[in-house]
Amino acid sequence: MGASDKPGHELMTLDELCTRVGLSVRNVRFYTSRGLVPPPLRRGRSGYYTPEHVARLELVQELQAHGFTLAAIERYVSALPEDAEPEDIALARTMLAPWQADLPVDMEREELEQRAGRSLSEEDVATLVALGVVRRRGERFLVARTQLGIGVQLLDLGFPREVAEAARAVYLDHGRQMAEELHEVVFDKLAPRYGSLESERFQEVMERLKPLSVGGLVTAYENAVARAARSASRR
């Protein structure tokens, strides 16, 4: 596993990384020692961190919130491609939404088709990947079982791959924007009220806030889609 170092990528010190993800230096070093995040990039005698480190640490935190053991987290993270971009890792987190009854499962092509109830062309699989239902893992697949049926129904309705990919780009773009704005709200307005970002009280507030934030986002999205549909029908 190696951190990306592409031109334009933001570089952070260890302290800046810890502030960004709300973890202690000890926790970050522990996760690094277990291979959950890559080691820092070296610039002389100093180490720096990238958005990939942020994305992987946020994924680890999400897995912990879902009750994963450390061993289970290690198995899940090991399934990520070594060259996964921060956007790919963020997409993996969407497969861990609180309303899902189970977790992504590793399976071969044959089992994927059995669960889908029909054969799947390469175009079908690419569409399921764009929908976030499936992730490729070499010759195998990591599948969100509770969403597979919905994905197959969309395939049967002729849902085009290019629309799924365009929608995915929208999710990533607006998800990043929302995350940045929420980050400002939390760190500028909430953190000072609850002391240190590492305090138990602050962490508990954040855990309680998470499902409400997700619920608020889903409600806002549903209302916006309904308004857009009504506007389109009037036109």
pLDDT for residue 214: 67
User: 7-53 pLDDT, tens per residue?
Assistant: 446 799 999 999 888 889 999 999 999 999 999 998 888 899 999 99
Share of the chain above pLDDT 70, in %: 85
pLDDT for residue 2: 56
Q: Model pTM?
A: 0.53
pLDDT for residue 127: 95
Domain count, the chain: 3
Average of per-residue pLDDT across 129-145: 85
Q: Give the closest residue to 86 by CA, choosing from 145, 33, 9.
A: 9
pLDDT for residue 103: 63
Residue 89 within a domain: no
Distances (CA, A) of 181 to 15, 92, 104, 196: 21, 21, 29, 20
Between residues 108 and 180, the one the model is more confident about: 108
Residue 87 within a domain: no
pLDDT for residue 123: 95
Same domain as 55, residue 6:
yes
Same domain as 130, residue 101:
yes
Is the pLDDT assigned to residue 205 strictly greater than 90? no
Which of 82, 114, 137 corresponds to the end of one domain? 82
pLDDT for residue 101: 46
Between residues 187 and 115, the one the model is more confident about: 115
Res. 138 pLDDT band, cuts 50 70 90: confident
Same domain as 183, residue 128:
no
Residue 38 three-state SS: coil
Same domain as 78, residue 55:
yes
Q: Give the closest residue to 172 by CA, choosing from 97, 100, 89, 228.
A: 89
Structural domain that includes position 42: 1-82
Residue 15 within a domain: yes
Same domain as 170, residue 151:
no
Same domain as 69, residue 110:
no
